Amino acid sequence: MRWRIGRELERAVAAKRRVQIALIVLILLLGALLATGTYSAFALYQSAEDRYIHLLFPLRTRSQDLVLQMVNEETGVRGYMITSDRKTLYPYFAGRANVRADLARIEQLTATRPDLHDELAPLRADIQDLHGYFDRQVTFVADGILGQRRARADVLGGQKIFNRFRGDAKKLETSITAFVDQTRSDQRRTFLRAVGLLAASGLFALAIAVFLMRRVPERLRQLYSDEEQARIRAEQGANAARALAHVSDAVVMLDDSSRILSWNTAAEELFGIPGQVAMGRPAGAIFPEFGVLVERSGGDLTPVRIGGEERWLAISLSRFEGGSVVTLRDATAEHTLERARADFVTTASHELRTPLTAVYGSIRTLLDREPELEESTRRRLMRMIEQESEHLTQIVDQLLVAAQLDRGRLRLEERECDVAQLCASVVEGAEARKPDSISLRLVVPPRTPPVMCDPPRLRQVIVNTRPAGARSRCASSTGQTACASTSRTRASASRPPSRHGSSRSSIGSTPRWPAASAAPGSACTSRARSSSRWAGCSPCAPAGGPARRSR
């Protein structure tokens, strides 16, 4: 667990370092953003200057050129008035063409500026008046001396028009200058505002980044550690739930009001109630005797009927703050096994006590009354001691065989056996223990060939089938034991007649059966069947009842 916690701490520190690196990169990016913004604002300012140069400077140049071309027109007309030479009108015609071009360009440049465009209308009217004046002057000069005099007389009128033109041109120039100044002021103000905004934004971003660099990594480390601990707790809870789902005991969690909080798979199988039905409901509503089970927790096995069957449950209760956990273990099989073991011990004790009593009684009789007993009586008592001792040996041997059957280690030693002689010895042994009201008779075929079997095991099987009514509680009966063998080496023995006529069982031995086999023809059966034969009592028929031979 310690190495796991250390590993989690290392992972948390690594996460903190990664966040710090990311924030450092963020700071560098914000600095680059600030520099880029400043450069962009400066470039914007430069581009704006270029744009205004392409607009305002050509406009100013065209307006000044317009005045110059009008002066050229006036100079050409005045020269023509002096010399009357048409060659001197060249500046006039060239200036007139240039004036038209300047007016068109100014018209184009001031199309988006209504205030400047309005200044162009009076200027155009003045130019039109001057062109009319110049045309009249040229016409007067062309008419001769009289015309020349008239033209000279009208010089002052033309000067008045030209002065008006100069005044309107000056106004346009003044408006253009004012527009240039205003544009520069607005552009500078926009530039300073953009730079200030970028600087404020950059400083604010830097402050945020520094704050995050100082606070976020530690907070992230704490959150990561908390998340890891929560994940570990969730994983432990999931593992506990998985283990609880596969545990063989029924585990039920209750709150203080006995409502079911957890109902595992074993509880579903024990009570036959699905978990989705039981969850959230009172335990008494699910199983009415649940309260009784809780009260008997920690004691002996508790009998309870579930689904019409009797179950024996071992109950344990663990309380905690806010509820309790009830564990119910189905001990029915253990209880049944314990009861069967007790019955087996009782039966075995009875089976052992009977021959021991006979042996003890015979020995006490011999010790106390030996001088008074006849030789035949002494021999009969000694034979009884021998037979009962052999019976004790058989009982102990049966217990050993039962243990070998449980372990699956029973081995059969097969050899040739005289079945008639074996059955006769069984009847002879039963004669010593049978009541006086019961008579035994052995029926042997004229010819009984030997069979391959395990004689002790076969004798044990014949004894367990009660060929004699020695253990019967009937007042009187006649039992017949019939044995026969065939060429297929099978031996059989019959029980005493029953009230239905006769009971029979086929017992035999065939070569090479597996060691612990309980198949038909083997020399022994399971312990449970043998124990039931030791402890039970076969039904009896009236004396003289029929008996049948069975194969």
pLDDT tens sequence across 228-279: 888 888 888 778 777 777 777 888 888 888 888 888 888 888 888 888 888 8
| 14, pLDDT greater than 50 | yes
Q: What is the mean pLDDT of residues 323-351?
A: 81
> Per mean pLDDT, which range of 41-55, 82-96, 467-481 is the poorest?
467-481
Report CA dihedral (62, 63, 65, 69) to the nearest 10 degrees.
120
pLDDT at 402: 76
CA angle 194, 197, 199 (to 5 degrees): 105
Q: How many CB atoms lie within 10 A of CB 210?
A: 12
| 8, pLDDT greater than 60 | yes
User: Any residues with CB less than 8 A from the CB of 60 and at least 6 apart, and which?
Assistant: 173, 176, 177, 180
- Per-residue confidence at 349, pLDDT binned at 50, 70, 90? confident
| Distances 346 to 340, 535, 544 between C-alpha atoms, Å | 10, 9, 33
Q: What is the mean pLDDT of residues 470-480?
A: 44
CATH class entry, domain 248-330: alpha beta
The encoded tokens of residue 134 equal 């110049």
Name the H helices within 418-526: 419-433, 455-464
| 289, pLDDT greater than 80 | no
| 88, pLDDT greater than 80 | yes
Condensed to tens digits (0 to 9), the pLDDT of residues 53-66 reads 677 778 888 888 98
Helix, strand or coil, per DSSP, at residue 433: helix
pLDDT at 52: 65
| 491, pLDDT greater than 50 | no
pLDDT at 6: 62
pLDDT at 47: 62
The residue that leads in pLDDT, 187 or 8, is 187
In the chain, the percentage of residues whose pLDDT exceeds 90 is 1
First-residue to last-residue Cα distance in the chain: 72
pLDDT at 534: 34
- Per-residue confidence at 28, pLDDT binned at 50, 70, 90? confident
What span, in angstroms and rounded, lies between the C-alpha atoms of 430 and 316? 52
| 37, pLDDT greater than 60 | yes
Q: Are 368 and 490 in contact (CB under 8 A)?
A: no
Which of the given ranges, 45-49, 201-205, 244-248, 314-318, has the highest pLDDT on average?
Answer: 314-318
Q: What is the mean pLDDT of residues 287-299?
A: 75
| 281, pLDDT greater than 80 | yes
pLDDT at 536: 31
Residue among 25, 24, 44, 20 nearest 198 (CA)? 44
Q: What is the mean pLDDT of the chain?
A: 74
| 525, pLDDT greater than 70 | no
pLDDT at 5: 56
Name the H helices within 253-374: 265-271, 275-278, 283-286, 290-295, 332-369
**CATH 1.10.3720.10 is the classification of domain 341-535:** no
The encoded tokens of residue 306 equal 């579930």
Q: What is the mean pLDDT of residues 137-159?
A: 82
| 516, pLDDT greater than 60 | no
Cα Rg of the chain, angstroms: 66
The encoded tokens of residue 281 equal 């409901």
pLDDT at 506: 31
What span, in angstroms and rounded, lies between the C-alpha atoms of 530 and 446? 31
Annotation: CATH topology of 2-220: Four Helix Bundle (Hemerythrin (Met), subunit A) (1.20.120)
pLDDT at 98: 92
pLDDT at 44: 67
> Is the C-alpha dihedral spanning 453, 458, 459, 462 positive or negative?
negative
Burial bucket for residue 137 (CB in 10 Å: 0-12, 13-18, 19+): buried
> Per mean pLDDT, which range of 284-293, 364-373, 485-494, 528-537 is the poorest?
528-537
Domain(s) labelled CATH 1.20.120.1730 in the chain stretch across 2-220
> Per mean pLDDT, which range of 311-325, 398-412, 513-527 is the poorest?
513-527
pLDDT at 217: 76
Helix, strand or coil, per DSSP, at residue 60: helix
The encoded tokens of residue 276 equal 């989705």
Residue among 118, 117, 116 nearest 175 (CA)? 116
Element (H, E) at 134: helix 114-142
pLDDT at 427: 82
| 290, pLDDT greater than 70 | yes
pTM, two decimals, is: 0.38
Burial bucket for residue 412 (CB in 10 Å: 0-12, 13-18, 19+): buried
pLDDT at 433: 65
Residue among 486, 490, 476 nearest 541 (CA)? 476
pLDDT at 508: 33
Residue among 265, 234, 255, 243 nearest 326 (CA)? 255
pLDDT at 101: 92
Domain(s) labelled CATH 3.30.450.20 in the chain stretch across 248-330
| 469, pLDDT greater than 60 | no
Residue among 395, 367, 397 nearest 382 (CA)? 367
- Per-residue confidence at 403, pLDDT binned at 50, 70, 90? confident
Residue among 130, 209, 119 nearest 162 (CA)? 130
pLDDT at 483: 53
| 504, pLDDT greater than 50 | no
CA angle 453, 454, 459 (to 5 degrees): 105
Q: What is the mean pLDDT of residues 389-417?
A: 80
What span, in angstroms and rounded, lies between the C-alpha atoms of 35 and 206? 13
pLDDT at 482: 54
pLDDT at 545: 40
pLDDT at 465: 66
Strand partners, 493: 505
